[in-house]
Structure 1
């Protein structure tokens, strides 16, 4: 059933009957072919015309997600979460949490989360939940950009600290300046390299794989005389927090949850060729690859880390990964590896700018963002990309990045925003489907059959757990203000602000995803099927037809007439 029709009680749309298949769906603009006929038809079923150029193949779609995950830099950035549980906790938390995330990917292979939230939700809840998911997903991706690009100056700092034998401490102002340079240059590159962005993702995948291979080869060789045995790697669970040991193990799950938590960034369905298969394939391939390679990486790290984990966590270099490299390959080797980590981290930031800008543009297309009419236009000059939302993401990231001037604990809130906000955005459409929308559900290109509903409920439980986990102080209960976890504050500001905005203003005009299909030779590329008509009637809506045009209104509006 069309969500535009479902929202008609607030803003009755008009549907024009058209053949299921129409030759004009092969989209061209100014002589440029934007999409194949099949891809345009798939998008038309959601009520949208093709406006972005489909530059990405299946492998390049996978490359977007895999690049944003930036496996080794992300593991390095989150060792402070996993190492306190000991080598066994680090290894098995990665394996178990990654498996759970793969299940979430299986249940979440459909693109455009807020569109499916609106489609599956009940008539009374769909507009609000759709609005909440759109904001949560948009700000979650921008939070991911902030946390990734905040990592860039930290890795650069560690390079300089290693070169100076641990005797250099930059000011928070200098860290923000480097952060700002990274964000702005990402905006410039995302604006000007649209024609080669797909190939750039392939290069980023190559760099990620090269760094992983170099690390898992060099570390065991460098520590050949002091590698840890299998018992230490797989069986030694420690607790360097003041939480109970079992909960310290669960907190180690934050490392894979954050690392693999950007799998939906490949959901650039309007720029992917053969999107029906490319997007779910990109999701599952990226999660599966990170699951496997990440497990290999953490096993190697556990084999090569100094058994005195407290000294590694408290390294004078300010980063456990830098200390592990230093112990294995010496000063020059550590500088070389940390340089590669910095480069890969930078490419991660570029990829997530691309993904976040597309999400922000899609939401502005439905009029939900402030200044949507400004952000809505597509730039043909720069290659049919949402240029204005690229720079909108840059501006929001620069403002949020000011948190790093306050304290490290405030800056870490950027990490939490990415985890909790995205988890909510993935959970709500799955929940809407199993609670309200099972009768509307139709299998897509990837379908798990009779296991579909149990998988969905498992995914919901895991995502709720992930949101809760992200809100706990890592070191232990009763934290001091400078090490407090401000996830609750940041995310409740996002969710609470979106909720207040909706009920005070947006509920009066926001009706969910809008139809953007235009008439071509007198025929609009959308149709209302018999099944959709039945669904509309069941939800209290009235369908009227004059032979060519079908108008959908609510029963209440019809009664007023």
Structure 2
């Protein structure tokens, strides 16, 4: 329905969207980058942190990915998490430098275009925009697929393991969850910041409950805790890879779990004092995941069955469900798994919000198919990109068909999230180092003289992470059902994107568009020193 049909409603909406003094500087900084303010700024610094922290959803994410680290035993679980999360935090620091200086919803592809050499600006920006968008879509798919498995594992626990779902039933559950997330993401925009605040408390509460209940339940039920030597020094290898490489593959668990702090970047145009809120959200979410994840995994290693293969091959179809069951019994395991399902639902909700902002920004610059249709922001529905949310739902329903094939195909959804996002994170950082040093002007947050070394470490790690995500987790010479199809899916995305660009899109995509008036005078009260040629960059790539 056209917004202009209800003038009274529009007038009320317009009044509610008038910028306050607190976000005038944010809007001015955004205008220097070429964009007018279209979304409502309503997220405080804790709420920006909350959306990334919610998507990480530590305990549910650990439950989702523990199958990647369990084959290496407790050492893979505990130290694999710790070492990888340190590198991930370094990536967060490098991203924070850019996010503070140039906060926009399409930050990753925008920064790539801004810093890259003249010949590479448009194709690289196009590639990163698509890679980041599809990576986030892969995240939505993998979260809801895992949630479907969690719900089914609850049913299996309730029936003492005597029932397991068919692939068709798993997909039906997945479809229902995607549709519910799409509806919630469209119509709950006004209360979404409060939901994110709630997510902080419920996630921390679950961490505390898990680290207390598992050891207490284990001892109360007559069991004994595994020794510190087992927790921190015991190595298993349930793969056919060498033990050292099995440990490296355990990094896939934290790589996937702590793979969402770029969501803070995508909320830049809804954040209050974005130049400060966004980098703080990135750092706090990555840092807290490192510390709290280490705590949770150490407790899990202390309470799980010392025979790792028993946990991996659980009858419940979910290793975390088996760990809860061993320590707490049927009722306790069922109670915790229900809470995990609730938080996993909130993860999917936060992720579809963040993904819709990235895809909406990319449509605003005319890069996605039907961009004119999808870039619309509904004033009637609380200034939400409703059409884009609906578009994401349709794509997720199609991609979810992979789970009808086998586990290997379903796991490709996880790898699409990892590989595509890592490419998207690393490219703008690399472009800044190689071409853009003279163009970079620090924002309110800046790592100073350590900025370049941090950025180089981040780039090297991200390249390694992309390569790591391509390996089959079980071992070399995998059967078709055990193959890692990441290279196939991401290769199709990346190569297809470039073919599409050079045949068609290069004729009309020349980078970010301007949405502010060309002659508009902008006086910013924001203390962030914007790069002097941000406005010129937007002018250079304005399209009629």
Q: Do they fold alike, i.e. is TM over 0.5?
A: yes
Residue 18 of structure 2 corresponds to 33
After TM superposition, give the deviation of residue 532 of structure 1 in Å: 3.5
Paired residue for 1:65, among 41, 47, 52?
A: 52
SS of 1:511 mapped into structure 2: coil
Structure 1 residue matching 2:240: 3-state secondary structure: coil
Q: Can you list the C-alpha shifts for 1:315-359, whole angstroms capped at 9, x where unaligned?
A: 111111111101101001111011111111011111101000000
Change (3 A) 1:39 1:317: same
Q: Which moved more, 1:208-217 or 1:411-420?
A: 208-217
Superposition pairs of residues 3-402 of structure 1, within 5 angstroms: 29-30=14-15, 32-34=17-19, 36-109=23-96, 110=99, 111=103, 112-224=107-219, 225-267=223-265, 268-402=267-401
Higher gyration radius (CA)? 1
- The offset of 1:89, in angstroms, is 2.1
Distance 1:465 1:92 in 2: 18
Partners of 2:457 and 2:468 in 1: how far apart? Answer: 16
Does the Cα contact within 8 Å between 1:132 and 1:499 map onto a contact in 2? Answer: yes
1:551 to partner: Cα distance: 8.1
In structure 1, C-alpha distance between the alignment counterparts of 2:403 and 2:531, rounded to whole Å: 55
Per the alignment, do residues 46 and 477 of structure 1 end up closer, same or farther by CA in structure 2, a change over 3 Å counting?
same
Distance in 1, Cα, partners of 2:532 & 2:352:
39
Partner of 2:439: 440
> 1:382-420, CA deviations, whole angstroms, 9 ceiling, x for partnerless residues?
111111111111111111111111111111110000000
CA displacement, residues 509-533 of structure 1 (integer Å, 9 cap, x when unaligned): 10101110036xx735499x99649
Q: TM-score, with normalisation over the residues of structure 1?
A: 0.88
Q: 1:330 to 1:432 in 2, by over 3 A?
A: same
Distance 1:262 1:534 in 2: 29
The separation in 1 between residues aligned to 2:475 and 2:177, in whole angstroms, is: 33
What SS does structure 1 have at the residue aligned with 2:367? coil
SS of residue paired to 2:442: coil
2: CA distance between counterparts of 1:250 and 1:552? 45
2:3 maps to: none
Shift of 1:30: 4.8
Structure 2 CA distance for partners of 1:374 and 1:233, relative to 1, 3 Å: same
Counterparts of 1:490 and 1:128, CA distance in 2:
20
| Matches of 1:271 and 1:206, distance apart in 2 | 22
Aligned length: 511
My pick for the range that moved more, 34-43 or 357-366, is 34-43
1:7 corresponds in structure 2 to none
Maintained 8 Å contact 1:89/1:236: no
| Residue equivalent to 1:456 | 455
Shift in Å at residue 124 of structure 1? 0.3
C-alpha distance in 1 between matches for 2:459 and 2:314: 38
Asked if 1 retains the 8 angstrom alpha-carbon contact of 2:406 and 2:481, the reply is yes
Q: 2:17, 2:372 → 1: CA distance?
A: 24
User: Structure 1's 117 and 230: CA in aligned 2 closer, same or farther, altered over 3 A?
Assistant: same
SS in 2 for 1:39: helix
**Which portions of structure 1, spanning 4 or more consecutive aligned residues, are displaced by more than 3 angstroms?**
28-31, 522-527, 529-536, 550-553
Paired position in structure 1 for 2:489: 490
Structure 1 residue 79: Cα displacement: 1.1
TM-score calculated relative to the size of structure 2: 0.91
Give the Cα–Cα distance (whole angstroms) in 2 for the partners of residues 71 and 317 of structure 1: 21
User: Can you give the 5+ residue segments of structure 1 that lack an aligned partner in the other structure?
Assistant: 1-27, 537-549, 554-561
| C-alpha contact 1:97 1:256 (8 A) present in aligned 2 | yes
Q: 1:399-478 counterparts in 2 under 5 A?
A: 399-478=398-477
* Alignment correspondent of 1:557: none
- Residue 65 of structure 1 aligns to a residue whose secondary structure is helix
Moved more, 329-338 or 208-217: 208-217
Show CA shifts across 1:179-237 (max 9, x none).
11111111111111111000011112222112111111000101224101111111112
Q: In structure 2, do the counterparts of structure 1 residues 533 and 42 end up closer, same or farther at CA, with 3 Å as the change threshold?
A: closer
Give SS of 1:158's match. Answer: helix
2:33 touches 2:535 (CA, 8 Å); kept in 1? no
In 2, distance between residues paired with 1:357 and 1:533? 25
8 Å Cα contact 1:189/1:350 also seen in 2: yes
Q: 2:201, 2:179 → 1: CA distance?
A: 24
Matches within 5 A, 1:470-549: 470-518=469-517, 523-525=520-522, 532=533
Structure 1: distance between partners of 2:76 and 2:403: 30
Deviation at 1:50, TM superposition (A): 0.2
